[in-house]
Amino acid sequence: MVEGTVKFFNRTSNYGFINGDDGKTYFVHGTGLKEGTAIDEGDRVSFTASEGDRGPKAENVEKLEEIKEK
């Protein structure tokens, strides 16, 4: 799992970008969010990194605060 900070997320278009702590920028689509997760700019998140057609992609995205509450 990689951790990072949400750089941008457009709920209308259902996509955005996450700045990973590993220095990479990851594309995230709304379908890559764990069920019930909503993200906004500045949120700290954890995710599975993969390589998409156009570069690094984030999947199974979950807010870190929500992970700690479990």
pLDDT of residue 65: 79
Query: Which pLDDT does position 9 carry in this prediction?
Result: 98
Residues in the chain with pLDDT < 50?
A: none
pLDDT recorded at residue 20: 98
pLDDT at position 17: 98
Give the C-alpha distances (Å, rounded to integers) separating 43 from 21, 22, 65. Answer: 13, 16, 9
pTM of the model: 0.89
Cβ neighbours for 28, distance < 8 A, ≥ 6 positions apart: 9, 15, 16, 17, 18, 39, 47, 57, 58, 61
**What is the architecture, at CATH level 2, of domain 2-69?**
Beta Barrel (2.40)
